[in-house]
Structures are given as C-alpha cells and as structure tokens.
C-alpha cells in the first residue's frame, strides 16, 4: 500500500494520524490518507504566508512557467492519476482520464494569465488606473465528485496571479491530491502550494484562520453557509460554488428521442454526482409519456459497474453516506410516484445504484425539491409553459438549467426567464475555461473560470492621480 504524505512548505511529511480511504466499488480500504492535526494546519498556513512575498513579486511569465512545468509533470503520469481517481472516486476509467485532461487544461489555461491593468479615465486633469493585486494565502477546499478538476481549478488561478494556497481535499477522495503534492516538490517554490488531509474536522480552523485572506470552497449549500460564517470574522474574500437543483425544460414539439438521450446523459454522468447535473425535467403533456418511456429505455440499457471494468458507463455512488441518501430518495419515489426504470441497487458489493427514472411525483416531494446528487431523475408534466418556468424557479437554488427546443429564439427567451447562473440551450455541461461560472440565490457567491473568475483571486486597487496640483506647485 502506497505511503501518501502531506505537502507542507515544500516537504512531504507524515500526518499526525491516518484516515482510511475506501474504494466505493469494492467497499475495501484503498489506502491511508495522512491526517493533519491543528499544528500541521497552522504550519501549512505559516508556510504559505512566508512564501507569499517572493511568489507575488515574480512576473506573470515566471509564475506561468511553474504552472506549465506542473502540467508537464501531471501529463507524464496521466494514466497513474486516472486509475487512482477511479479507485477512490468510482467513475469509469475513461471518464477519469477525461477529468485528468481537464485538470491539465486548467493548469495550462491559467499559466501566465493575469488580470490586466486598466486606465479607467485619463484627461488633462487626472489619470485613474485600476490594478489587481494578489490577496495572500488562499484556502482551497474541494468536494469528492471531481477531485482533480476542483483541485486544479482552484490552484491554477490562485497562484497564477501571485497568491499562495493551502488545499484541503474531501476526506473520502484525498489520495489524488496527495499524489499531486508529490509533483509539486522541486517544481513549485516551497510553501506556494500546501496540501493537507483531514476528517472534516479542520475546515473551520482553516476558513477562520487569521492569516487566510480568501476561501475558495466547492460543496454543499449547508456547508457553504458554515464557511461563510467562519470567514465573516475577518471579512475574508469568498468564492462559494454550492449545490443546485437544476431544471431542464423540454419545449413542446421537441425531438423526444434526441432530447431524451442528452437529458439522460446530463442527469447520469458521474452517476449524477455533479452540482450542475439535470436534477428534474419538465416535459409538455403531449410528449410526457413518450419522454418517460425513452428515458426508461436508456436507463435499462445503461451499464453500471466498477469503473475499472471495461464497458462500465456508470460507477458507484462515491461514499456510503451519499449512497444511503440516494436510496432514501428512491424509496420516496416508490411510495409517491411511479418508477419507470431502475429503482434498485446492484446485487453486489459496492455503492451501486442503477439509473432510476421516476414519473408522476408530486412537486413538493423531496426528490423534486432537494438536490439528490445521484442517478435518480424525476420527470414532471406541464401543460402551460409559464407554469413550468415558475416551478423550475420555485427553489432556493440557482446554479444551472437547460432549455430544449427546435425554435432557438423561443428557447433563448425561455432561458432568460430561468433564475440560474448558467443556462444552456440544447446542450448541457459545456464549460469552457474562459467562460465564468457562478450560482444565483443559495447556489453560490462569486464566479469561477474566465477573466472574471481570475479576478476573484485579486484585490482591485484604483490609483487616482491628479496631473495638476502639488507636484506642479512644488516644481
């Protein structure tokens, strides 16, 4: 069994204790995660604080060179990272390879990228210039659904503009982050990147630490609220990418078979464990039965299994707590609606759930109102489009949504009425590196990706210069 280590101040060190990491496909211990204690957390923050002056003083190009070298090192071990990702997270190996590729792309996209200095106004009397300066130590806290993407989507922009980071992966998927820490040794200046593991017991100490200037957190809305409370003591800068209950609205006269295939993929990719997955779908009554039938057919045909097995399309739910939660939603569906397909776990070891299509669920059911974060999709009927839009918006969440229809102008008009940070039309989960992504309502604060996401890791500083006055008088 591999000996994983924390990364603190450029050195790989043992944790104060260890934590079992379970393979969700086998329920067996995959490895031991080094578990930091409060002393080691403080050491990591102190190292990042010490490293900040020299790192922030480097040029954008110099910092970009470090990110590109890190990307090269990750690319050289692409297959190793992908296999470990499948083993600790559960996703099919091909999809794990894709995730590592996206993580690589994050490092390369942000390498050498900076927020430009802007002259806001200049005339005979004044010159006003806006700069963006790094904040200091960034606490980066990752979820368990996309460990590699989330790690690199926080590290890359943070250090590109001159910050240093302390990263804390989810305790059920920490090993790829620890392996990434090995890449950093000798490539990244000491203290610029620090990676610690915990059992969800150090979060408050990290987010409330007086030497942390910003928190970048991805996870549930409930935990995000706790992060915000913890950071409030020193008014830390925050980026919170939180939960969603993302609705798909299928417009009348859409191609049922084509839309069903895309909606099914958007609902079940990564076994539904995506914050922006399709969580509920509203279908016009004229196509409702046909859509339910086609989604059911796709669910029955899906191959569920160990991500390392060839042909697997859906892996297990990542952890036992989430597995039990998803089974609870299925039980509610059995009692309050009609299960079209699925509705059972695989008869094998592991946290496997077959994709489940549910129809005729009441709007006030938990499956419709909450974020299920699993491959259980409620299909809901509407007769009036305005009613469907109102029901789609009747949630505290506002992360994403989709509109499907043949008339693009009409679909665009509907998309404008959805209260979410991202709305796709006739596609799902298209997330380019250069396009900002953020949630409305209780789905988040701030944005990630693109120039706007990069600016979230900086402080805007306006310098307002009078061209006439003291200097002219002295002269």
Q: How far apart are CA 147 and CA 451, in angstroms?
A: 23
| Helix or strand holding residue 237 (H, E) | strand 237-241
275 flagged as catalytic: yes
Q: Which of 88, 99, 241, 371 is catalytic?
A: 241
Residue ranges of domains in the chain, CATH in brackets: 6-242+439-462 (3.40.605.10), 247-425 (3.40.309.10)
Q: Is the pLDDT of residue 156 over 50?
A: yes
Measured at the CA of 451, the angle between CA 449 and CA 453, to 5 degrees, comes to 40
Listing DSSP states for 12-43 in one string gives EE--SEEEEEEETTTTEEEEEEEE--HHHHHH
* Residue 174 three-state SS: coil
pLDDT tens across 58-74, in order? 999 999 999 999 999 99
Give residue 112's pLDDT.
82
Full-model pTM: 0.95
Q: How confident is the model at residue 347 (pLDDT cuts 50, 70, 90)?
A: confident
pLDDT tens across 292-311, in order? 999 999 999 999 999 999 99
How much is the average pLDDT of 3-9? 97
- Residue 323, strand partner residues: none
Q: Is the pLDDT of residue 395 over 90?
A: yes
Share of the chain above pLDDT 70, in %: 98
Average pLDDT value for the chain: 96
Give residue 167's pLDDT.
98
How much is the average pLDDT of 28-44? 98
Give residue 230's pLDDT.
93
- Residue 216, strand partner residues: 140, 239
How much is the average pLDDT of 53-60? 97
Give residue 345's pLDDT.
67
Residue with tokens 């403080």: 42
Output the six-digit token pair for 233. Answer: 């003591």
**H, E, C per residue of 257-281:** HHHHHHHHHHHHHHHHCCCCCCCEE
Q: How far apart are CA 198 and CA 169, in angstroms?
A: 8
Give residue 348's pLDDT.
82
pLDDT tens across 85-122, in order? 999 999 999 999 999 999 999 999 999 898 999 999 99
Q: How confident is the model at residue 474 (pLDDT cuts 50, 70, 90)?
A: very low
Give residue 83's pLDDT.
98
Give, rounded to a whole angstrom, the gap between the first and last alpha carbons of the chain.
Answer: 73
pLDDT tens across 248-267, in order? 999 999 999 999 999 999 99
Output the six-digit token pair for 259. Answer: 């839309």
- Those residues with Cβ within 8 angstroms of residue 100's Cβ, 6 or more apart along the chain or in another chain: 74, 78, 81, 82, 85, 148
Q: Which of 152, 167, 184, 275 is catalytic?
A: 275
Residue with tokens 């949504």: 401
Of 28-42, 57-71, 332-346, 417-431, the range with the lowest mean pLDDT is 332-346
293 flagged as catalytic: no
Minimal CA–CA distance to 397: which of 369, 425, 364? 369
Give residue 475's pLDDT.
41
Q: How far apart are CA 365 and CA 336, in angstroms?
A: 8
């Amino acid at each position: 069994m591999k000996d994983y280590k924390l990364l603190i101040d450029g050195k790989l060190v043992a944790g104060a204790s260890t934590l079992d990491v379970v393979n969700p496909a086998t329920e067996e211990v995959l490895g031991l995660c080094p578990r930091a204690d409060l002393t080691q957390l403080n050491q990591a923050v102190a190292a990042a604080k010490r490293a900040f002056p020299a790192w922030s003083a480097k040029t954008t190009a110099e910092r970009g060179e470090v990110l590109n070298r890190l990307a090269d090192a990750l690319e050289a071990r692409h297959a190793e990272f992908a296999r470990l990702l499948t083993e600790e997270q559960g996703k099919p190996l091909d999809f794990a390879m894709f995730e590592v590729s996206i993580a690589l792309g994050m490092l390369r996209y942000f390498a050498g990228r900076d927020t430009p200095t802007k002259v806001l106004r200049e005339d005979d009397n004044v010159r006003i210039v806006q700069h963006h300066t790094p904040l200091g130590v960034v606490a980066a806290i990752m979820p368990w659904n996309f460990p590699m993407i989330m790690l690199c989507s926080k590290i890359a922009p943070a250090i590109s503009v001159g910050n240093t980071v302390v990263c804390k992966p989810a305790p059920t998927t920490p090993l790829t982050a620890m392996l990434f820490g090995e890449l950093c040794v000798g490539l990244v200046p000491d203290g610029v990147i620090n990676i610690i593991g915990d059992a969800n017991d150090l979060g408050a100490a990290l987010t409330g630490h007086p030497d942390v200037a910003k928190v970048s957190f991805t996870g549930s809305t409930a935990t995000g609220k706790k992060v915000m409370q913890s950071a409030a003591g020193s008014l830390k800068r925050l980026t919170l990418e939180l939960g969603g209950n993302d609705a798909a609205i299928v417009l009348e006269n859409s191609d049922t078979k084509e839309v069903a295939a895309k909606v099914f993929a958007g609902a079940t990719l990564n076994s539904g464990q995506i914050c922006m997955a399709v969580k509920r779908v509203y279908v016009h009554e004229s196509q409702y039965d046909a859509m339910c039938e086609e989604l059911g057919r796709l669910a029955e045909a899906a191959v569920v299994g160990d991500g390392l097995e060839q042909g697997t399309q859906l892996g297990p739910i990542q952890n036992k707590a989430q597995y039990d939660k998803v089974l609870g939603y299925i039980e509610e569906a059995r009692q309050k609606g009609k299960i079209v397909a699925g509705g059972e776990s695989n008869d094998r070891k592991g946290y496997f759930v077959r994709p489940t299509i549910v129809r005729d669920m009441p709007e006030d059911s938990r499956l419709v109102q909450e974020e299920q974060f699993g491959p259980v999709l409620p299909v809901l009927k509407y007769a009036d489009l305005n009613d469907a839009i109102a029901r789609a918006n009747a949630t505290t969440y506002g992360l994403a949504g989709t509109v499907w229809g043949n008339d693009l102008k009409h679909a665009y008009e509907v998309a404008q009425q959805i209260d979410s940070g991202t709305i796709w039309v006739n596609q799902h989960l298209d997330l380019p590196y250069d396009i900002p992504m953020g949630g409305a309502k209780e789905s988040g604060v701030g944005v990630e990706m693109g120039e706007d996401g990069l600016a979230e890791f900086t402080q805007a500083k306006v310098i307002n210069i009078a061209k006439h006055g003291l200097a002219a008088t002295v002269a």
